[in-house]
Chain A
Amino acid sequence: MVIRVTRRIVEAVVLLLAVGTIVFFLEHAVPGDPAVAILGGAAAHPTKEAVAAVTEQYGFDRPLIAQYGDFLGGLFRLDFGESYTLKQSVTSVIAGQIGPTLALTVSALVIAWLLSIASTLLTAGRPGIVGRLGSVVETVAAGLPQFWLGLVLLLVFAVQLHWFPVIGSGPLGIVLPALTLAIPLAGFLGQVTRDEFEDKQQQPFVLSARSRGLSERAIRGKYVLRHAALPGVTLSGWGLGSLVSGAVIAEVVFARQGIGQVLVTAVSAQDLPLVIGITFVVALVYVVANILTDIAYVVIDPRLRRTTGAAA
């Protein structure tokens, strides 16, 4: 188990390096002079001397490889430099903004799981219309675009019904944005979990358990559910990554604080260190999420904890 986790961490580090490198070179393909961006953009009409001075100061005239070397060095120290536009260290910018985004994505994931488990437990494997309804609801939910769902939720529950604030950073303010992200993910997770649930419910071990007098409820909730949750757990790592992507949209729709907003502005302002920093952090979240889901999987499925199988 320890070996697994260590290996994952090493792979993760390599991955992050790759991500950072790609962003570095992509950003350098963007037309435009970073020195100009630092000085406030083309609209600020910086003088030629100012541009030259900045260029020399930041080393933009050095060969690309050398700049990359500096970049890598900074990466290891987790120093992304200073934002061109915000004149703050990138780390502090991110630290300030990441809280709300993380809160949003984590709560969305939790809600998504709760919804999909509820849907599965209540409707999977049940005959007739109940079963089919659950499946249809999940399919529809999975296909809902987040921006539209967010707008509709905002319109109905905030603007019309006043149940939630239109803009708010407190706990009430997180409900609608979290739901916006959670519902489509819940639809997707629900489908996967339901399919696995219905498959496992047909297995002989369920019949065996029934023959010992276990109740249907216990079998569904304690035994089959555990099996059914496994594929969903694997997908949660990816799911969290996609939630971060969705967080950008949710933050825009609900005018929330978070790195999503910062990212959008940073790219259009060609603020290289900030873009790299945020990308890196997002990739980090994705990687950590995958490691955590790996661990969770092993917790649920003890077969992987034992190193050798049975004698035949």
Chain B
Amino acid sequence: MTTASQPTSATSVVQGPAPVVDVRNLSVAFGDRTVVQDVSFTLEAGRCVAIVGESGSGKSVTARSLLGLNGTTATTTASALSLGGQDLRDLSDGAWRKVRGKQVGYVLQDALVSLDPLRKVGASVADALREHGVGPRSIREQQVLSLLSRVGVPSPALRARQLPSELSGGLRQRALIAAAIALDPAVLIADEPTTALDTTVQAQILALLDELRAGGTGLVLISHDLGVVEQLADDVVVMQHGVVVEQGPVGAVLGDPQHPYTKRLLAAIPSAHAPGARLSDAPRATLAPRPASRPVPVAGSLVLSVSHVTKRYRGPDRVTRTVVDDVSFELRAGETLGIVGESGSGKSTTAAIALALTPPSSGTVTFEGRPWSDLSERARRGDRPRIATVSQDPLSSFDPRRTVGDLIRSALTGARAARKSSDDGRSDSGRVEDLLTGVGLDVGIARRHPSTLSGGQRQRVAIARALATDPDVLVLDEAVSALDVSVQAQVLDLLADIRQEYGTAALFISHDLGVIHHVSDRVLVLRDGRVVEEGPADQVFRSPRDPYTQGLLDAVPGVSIHRNPQEEP
């Protein structure tokens, strides 16, 4: 099976020094299941090649082939697989250990779990030094300090003695990079190095990686984020289901994609379109109409009013932290309010307060003009069906014992119990079917357990459950953050369809600026629990007033990826 653009040899025509990475016809299989098939690419010193794909594309397995870390059950074949001229095929364990750390370094995502939590940071950084025989302890310690400085860790002597849990996310990632480059390897493989980080921190880490590349290290970047790829990479390899579908220089592939999959990936990026445009080629959702007895509130009427809400927590160390500080906003029927902020900004707590799942320390929330936060839970129950929520990890919000059908039915019975009303003529099982088809799922899924479904399917189930009570407000807390880009596109389209059909108001919380811009009418920017900016989405994103917001926008990687929506035809 040939793909659209099949390069004949190395992607670069420059006749420079021999490539530091040479991969030709690489195939990896686990038993009888082929996971990577016929992948070829090369990399020269001081350049960056990015391998792009979604989950299951085989990109990580491909990268790990250069380290021999795919496990003993993997069969790797290639007509060429070399690193700095050394042939990596059929290496013994001992030979691999000489290569790892010395010729090639590996950086994973989320240093909190990628660094041994029980060991001091300095010890982990010194690992490669020790394994490859670098001098007595004192020499190693010196090198650790200089490595930490090189990657931009302030007070390296202090940090080296600390545990990973005592460092912030950005510092941890830097330390992880320091550990990988300890012996100055010719090649650095970074597998989703910034996915777990805040946008501003991500920008710093990307800059660091770019610096290393400029210093002569060959960088192999694995990512699902095309913005990151555009920013760092010289060449890009696009993979799907274990096969390369397109590869070439970054400008060519991202600017003028040939393969339908690449086009789909690019189309799925929210910021590449005018807000409101469809991101995927999924058909429009067929949603059942709402019953006449439960109409949506009149457009423009006030649905949720949050007034000077503050939330303070007293931690186990007796320190009181103000997580939400004097936040106020209004949500009107039919509109989507986006709340954006980095970690620690208080956006999730704000959502929890809006849902009355936790009481504010001060301030009030009213719902459709009626008291909401001040009520007892019993008094509130009657209104509960009107406000529904979808969260980032739907699986944890599902009772593990229940099937999909049970979960949705539970929403229906809960709504009935809360409203103290009898059913309105529609049977429960009929409703369940309608809801499942409405969100694009097969009705047979009702009998299955959520743990057997994929992430996208689970999120659709969560949405179906949210719609079961005919809510007036949907609260979506990082609802698409954990999904692959193409799945995310489908779910965003579904949410747009829902909004169009029912006119429900929505509170959309996310750290992803592109998504927020795409779905929101108005935007709230939170920082350390405070509102730093508020206004119509276009205005906030095009001409922000607050420098913090501007900083967030500047930190988003990639430039041409995020076309100016005004230029969209």
Contacts and interface: CB of A to CB of B under 8 A. Distances in A.
10 pairs of A and B residues whose beta carbons are closest in the complex: A211-B106, A213-B101, A213-B131, A212-B101, A212-B128, A213-B100, A212-B127, A204-B114, A312-B344, A205-B116
Nearest to A306: B166
B97 A208 contact: no
A254 to B, nearest CB: 40
A204 B165 contact: no
Contact of B114 (A127, A208, A215): A208
A204 B118 contact: no
Nearest to A308: B317
Interface stretch (A33-41, A60-68, A183-191, A297-305): A297-305
A213 B104 CA distance: 10
Interface string B418-452: 00000000000000000000000000000000000
B364 to A, nearest CB: 28
Given A208-B115, A213-B97, A300-B118, A311 B168 contact: yes
A226 interface: yes
Interface of A: 127, 203-205, 207-216, 223, 226-227, 300-303, 306-312
A141 B528 CA distance: 55
A216 B94 CA distance: 10
A310 B166 contact: yes
B105 interface: yes
A256 to B, nearest CB: 40
Contacts of B344: 312
22 contacts: A203-B113, A204-B113, A205-B117, A208-B124, A208-B176, A210-B67, A210-B100, A211-B67, A211-B69, A211-B100, A212-B131, A212-B180, A212-B182, A213-B99, A213-B100, A214-B97, A300-B118, A302-B118, A306-B163, A309-B165, A310-B166, A310-B167
B98 interface: yes
B165 A211 contact: no
Contacts of B120: 302
A205 B113 contact: yes
Given A212-B180, A302-B118, A312 B168 contact: yes
B400 to A, nearest CB: 19
Nearest to A224: B116
B69 A210 contact: yes
A20 B518 CA distance: 69
Nearest to A309: B165
Contact of B179 (A212, A308, A311): A212
A215 B69 CA distance: 12
B132 interface: yes
B317 A312 contact: no
Contacts, number: 91
Contact of B98 (A213, A306, A310): A213
Contacts of A214: 97, 127, 131
B169 interface: yes
Given A212-B106, A212-B180, 14 more contacts: A204-B113, A205-B114, A209-B116, A209-B124, A210-B69, A212-B127, A212-B128, A215-B131, A223-B119, A309-B165, A310-B165, A310-B167, A311-B168, A312-B169
Given A303-B165, A312-B344, A212 B110 contact: no
B102 interface: yes
Interface in B294-329: 317
B343 interface: yes
B166 A309 contact: yes
Nearest to A215: B97
B179 A226 contact: no
A226 to B, nearest CB: 6
Contacts of A204: 108, 110, 113-114
Contacts of B182: 212
A307 B114 CA distance: 23
A202 B216 CA distance: 33
Contacts of B114: 204-205, 207-208
Nearest to A205: B116
A211 B114 CA distance: 11
A6 B311 CA distance: 34
Contacts of A127: 72
Contacts of B98: 213
Interface string B503-517: 000000000000000
B476 to A, nearest CB: 22
Given A213-B97, A226-B118, A208 B106 contact: yes
Given A205-B114, A303-B117, A212 B167 contact: no
A209 B125 CA distance: 10
B322 to A, nearest CB: 14
B108 A207 contact: yes
Contacts of B180: 211-212
